[in-house]
Amino acid sequence: MIHFIGTRYAIAAVLISLTAHVAVAQFSNRYPKVDTYRHHIYLEAFEFPFYSNGPVSPVASPDGKAIAFSTYGWIWIYDKSQKKASRLTNSGEMDFLPTWSASGDQIAFVRDTGRETYLLIVDLNGKEVVKVDHPNSSELDPYFSPDGKYLYYSSSKEGTFDIWRYEIAASKSEQLTAVNDGMEMRPVPFGSEGSYFFISKSEGVADRIKLYNGQNKTTTVIDEGRILSQLWIDTNATGDQLALNWSNTLTWNLYLKAAKSGAPKLELFDDEYYVIYPSWNRANNSILFSMSGKSLDFAMYEISADGGTPQKLEVDNWDFGTDLNKVSVVVSEGNDKVNARVSIIAENGHPIIPKNVLPRFDSQNGEVYFYTDGQFTIDVPAQKIRIKASKGLFSSTESDWIDSKSQKQVALTLDKGWDKPGWYSGDHHFHLNYGGPYKLQPSDLKPIMKGEDLDFATPMVANLHFQLKDLEYINWYSEEFPKIMFGQEIRSHFHGHIGLYGNNQLYYPWFWGPILYETHTFDDRTNDEVLKYGRTKGEIGAYVHPISERNPLANETSMSRVPIGLVADVVNENLDALEVACLWSDEIGSSVMYHQFLNLGIPIALTAGTDAFPGYARCMAVGTTRIMVNTGDKNDWDSYLDAIRKNKTVVTNGPMIELTVQGRKPGEAIEQTMSKVSWEMEVYTKSKLEKIEVLVNGKVVWTARESQENGSKKFSGKITIPKGGWVAARVYGSGIKWPQMDSYPFAHTGPVWIGKVGSTDPAAQKESAQTLLKVLDLSWGRIKAAYGSNSVSNQEAYFQQAREKLVRMTSGK
């Protein structure tokens, strides 16, 4: 996965080239950009509230008799005595994180438009009283002051999240914190002197619970830990006890803690599933929290602050405040009901889901989606609805507006756009559990893969700083389709991230290097140790999300952002594959680097992986970047992996390409007996492609005269070829649409070799060697600067070996 880079590290001159922000075509942010957080996918997954199936963020009224919570994107009020939940809000936007006023007659919450968030205060009839909204920013974490005069909250108005408070009578906001290298969030005011707890987060620095003392105007650290992604806090009336959830690598448990530095945490409740959103019911001296179970639906619980067994707060009656229309939906291909990904919106824009599904928010398109086995029923609050459904990247449909009052049965037939025998799809880089609110089992991937028409998958165990995530699943294996085998991502932030897959063997250490890590900081090791280990175990070793720029070779600044170990590992012929298609890197830029390596005559494979996080409530889907592998009539793991190694592949995030040159397919070689050869290509797409190209040794030798909008189209022609090298096809565009979730449509075939696999054209080889020599030297300079006086003799010998090879290539030897 992508890595966390801290602002404090960025100010060190030696690391500026590693952390500088650049113009990229990868996913950047959906909500207003926060300057101090590099990777918004983590920010939005960890810090933003989410659309849930079942109650989350429960908070008790001052008298303890009612509970406000969020589910289905609305705010509800739960009557404990009647076990009845009544819908308070009914907007087209999504509403989250309710909090009660001290008088109990108002509720504040977060309203989410899908592009920004702001705060509303409403009365108990849902009538708007106050709106708190800073333009071009996100407002989160509302909390009333005990005297009812203020609404505390966090806002990114000044470029990062700070603590603010809104004076209700005066209708004005005041900024309370302003720390430039991090974020301050989740204020919890108490007492009468303006004191409050809050959470401070900074990439590369510990997440901290802090106390601001309003009497003496001081701030104290109460507790800290690394990457506490789901951390939530609340306090009792006197402010001397905190309720909080805390991670122990495997799960998130519920704790009490005295509100002072150094005090130990007392565990109140533990479970294999995650405790989230703890809040104090002060009237009952109890703690409320939410937790999902095996079904992945959320429920709310209450436990005494003294300890004991939590009581599940069942909702027996859901009152929507309007009539509900029940609509049954069937999704099929031809006459067969099929698994699918589905998104439903009401006429007012609000997302709709059935019961017993796990909803996720697509950060690219801004839609809530879920998976179905092909048949489901929804309850619609008296509105028209529109339904999208897809099965993978090549098969989808969208309904017209459906009147839920008159139409009770809906049949959706998918338009199967591309489906050829002998091809299998795979995603070889994503993470099952990685800091999100859901605890997934490997079997939970099956309905996702079926809905995405994904045949093979290698979810990767990886470290979340010092937490080794999903280690318990490394030997979990599914031979039945869809096939699953765990791999591993080894994450040297400094040298570059490596993915190993194909034999579920673990390499140690999982991480090292002079960025972020307090152990193995200056290990004199290179990524070739990882890659060689993988080869001894029969695994494929790939650099993942390698390039973030459209042109990584444009100048020395861009070259300095290429992963430090990449060129040396390729030139020394230790790398098996390069992840050309990934949600968090730039496909065109990655293909540019890939071309340089092929020009050297080193036939590394191209591969693909989303680096998605199915345990997140806000993330794109597994399989939305993928590799298509042509194995013919074989569908076992060995044949599939062998075809990847031989480049019998296409990587894509939406389009599909079938290329032949003189009748030969990617991974094969044509005879070099003529200067001109014939080629044929069929391209399928659902999004507009502005560029459809044939490449020879990385140069565009043919491009389509017109863009391609939708469907399949065939092309053919003749091209002049040199005596060595390779031919490939590449397509791309600028805009995407469902079911795609990457930044722009892209596909690239494996190479068809000229003469033999690994052949070269002397001119192309020389040019690429000269370019890569510059990158290698810049990478070596970064190593010397970062390691300082620490030994780098092992790395020096390895880089010198690569340098000598490149020098020989530049001289034509």
Per residue in 409-426, pLDDT (tens digit) is 999 999 889 999 999 999
Query: What pLDDT, on a 0 to 100 scale, did the predictor assign at position 516?
Result: 80
| 395 closest CA partner among 331, 456, 345, 327 | 331
Q: pLDDT for 295-310, tens place per residue? A: 899 999 999 999 999 9
pLDDT at 12: 34
Instruction: List Cβ neighbours of 477 (8 Å cut-off, separation of 6 or more).
Output: 484, 485, 486, 504
Q: What is the mean pLDDT of the chain?
A: 94
What does the pLDDT read at residue 25? 58
146-182 pLDDT, tens digit per residue, is 999 999 999 999 999 999 999 999 999 999 999 777 8
pLDDT bin (cut points 50, 70, 90) of residue 674 is confident
pTM of the model: 0.95
Secondary structure (3-state) at 680: strand
Residue at 649: amino acid letter: T
Angle between helices 762-787 and 587-599 (to 10 degrees): 110
Angstrom distances, CA of residue 687 to CA of 340, 429, 653, 733: 20, 24, 11, 8
Stretch 616-621: mean pLDDT: 98
SS3 at position 597: helix
Coil, strand or helix at 684: strand
CATH number among 2.60.120.10, 2.60.40.3700, 3.30.9.10, 3.40.30.10, domain 325-416:
2.60.40.3700
Whole-angstrom distance, CA of residue 423 vs CA of residue 747:
15
Burial class (CB in 10 A: 0-12, 13-18, 19+), 441: middle
Instruction: Identify the CATH number of the domain defined by range 654-760.
Output: 2.60.40
Task: Name which of 208, 213, 267 is nearest 243 in CA terms.
Answer: 267
Nearest alpha-carbon partner for 369 in 388, 346, 397: 388
Domain 40-319 class? mainly beta
The string of DSSP codes covering 85-137 is EEE----SSEEEEEEE-TTSSEEEEEEE-SS-EEEEEEETT--EEEEE--TTS
The pLDDT value given to residue 1: 66
pLDDT reading at 6 higher than 50: no
The per-residue pLDDT for 771 is 98
* Confidence at residue 15, expressed as pLDDT on a 0 to 100 scale: 35
DSSP symbols for 733-752: -S---TT--SSS-EEEEPPE
* pLDDT value at residue 338: 98
Confidence band of 36 (pLDDT split at 50, 70, 90): confident
Confidence of residue 4 (pLDDT cuts 50, 70, 90): very low
CB neighbour class for 591 (10 Å; exposed up to 12, middle 13-18, buried from 19): buried
For the segment 588-614, what is each residue's pLDDT rounded down to a tens digit?
999 999 999 999 999 999 999 999 999
Beta pairing partners, 69: 76
Q: Average pLDDT of 193-217?
A: 92
Query: Is 40-319's fold the same as 654-760's?
Result: no
Q: Read off the pLDDT of each residue in 334-350 and give the average, rounded to a whole number.
A: 96
Q: Domain 1-30+422-653 maps to which CATH number in 3.40.30.10, 3.20.20.140, 3.90.700.10, 1.10.357.10?
A: 3.20.20.140
pLDDT band, very low/low/confident/very high, at 2 (cuts 50, 70, 90): low
Q: Which residues contact 699 (CB under 8 A, 6 or more apart)?
A: none
Burial of residue 242, with CB atoms counted within 10 A of its CB: 0-12 exposed, 13-18 middle, 19 or more buried = buried
At 715, the pLDDT band (50, 70, 90 cuts) reads very high
- pLDDT higher than threshold 90 for residue 407: yes
* Sign of the dihedral defined by the CA atoms of residues 9, 12, 15, 21, in that order: positive
- In sequence order, which residues have a C-beta less than 8 Å from that of residue 588 and are 6 or more positions away? 25, 550, 732, 746
Distance CA 767, CA 380 (A): 62
The residue assigned the tokens 């824009």 is: 349
- pLDDT tens digit sequence for 119-138: 999 999 999 999 999 999 99
User: How many other C-beta atoms can be found within 10 angstroms of the C-beta atom of residue 186?
Assistant: 26
Whether 13 shows a pLDDT value over 50: the answer reads no
> Any idea where the domains of the chain sit in the sequence?
1-30+422-653, 40-319, 325-416, 654-760, 766-810
Say whether 42 sits in a helix, a strand or coil: helix
Report the range of poorest mean pLDDT among 79-83, 511-515, 619-623, 774-778.
511-515
Q: What is the pLDDT of residue 813?
A: 67
Average the pLDDT over 517-526 and give the result.
92
Q: Taking 70 as the threshold, does the pLDDT of residue 346 lie above it?
A: yes
Residues near 800 by beta carbon (within 8 Å), at least 6 away in sequence? none
- What share of the chain has pLDDT > 90, as a percent? 90
Kindly tell me if the per-residue pLDDT of 203 is higher than 90. no
